Amino acid sequence: MTITTPGLGTPPRAAEARPHPRRDGNGSSERPRPRGRSTLTLSLLLVAALAFAVALAGCGQSAQDKAKGQVCSARADINKQLQYLKGLTITTATATGVQNSLKAIGSDLKKIKDAQPQLDSQRKQQVQSANQEFSATLQAVASNIGQNLSISNVGAQLKSAVQQLAHAYQTALAPISCS
């Protein structure tokens, strides 16, 4: 005997309580996809993408690109040192400060010289002649700074030396392309 409650109808039969074999638990009527083939394809694509990414990351910069970066970095630091020297006055300039700045410029010139062999022939020639020109001016300025120093002319001598270096930078090193 079956008991029915008004408004609720009859209890579901056992066959109706189970989902249809073609339906998933959410009522979708699509057939389940075979997992083996699509999972394998997706896995292969992920492995290939990962291998490609690792290959790109491993390449890095060429020696020529590194040398160009070294030249440009040194050139920028020389400019920074020259701006510092230009900003000095007779009251703010110290012998140590000027010496440190000139040493930094010398170090930058050495970095440029060390990078030259890795550059392409045209850039190598341009950088080499610019480096030689600026180095010669730096040596001349450095040797002249210590001569005939007196309280009255030290400021003028320093200003003249910095102007010579700035001009040498503009004519020799500034034209080197870093873009």
**Least confident stretch, 21-35, 98-112, 127-141:** 21-35
Read off the pLDDT of residues 46-62 as tens digits, 9 standing for 90 and up.
Answer: 555 555 554 444 456 79
Read off the pLDDT of residues 69-121 as tens digits, 9 standing for 90 and up.
Answer: 999 999 999 999 999 999 988 788 888 898 899 999 999 999 999 999 999 99
Q: Read off φ and ψ for residue 10, nearest 5 degrees.
A: -95, 150
Q: Find out if CATH 1.20.120 is the number for domain 63-173.
A: yes
- Percent over 70 (pLDDT), the chain: 62
Confidence (pLDDT) at 69: 95
Confidence (pLDDT) at 23: 53
Confidence (pLDDT) at 137: 92
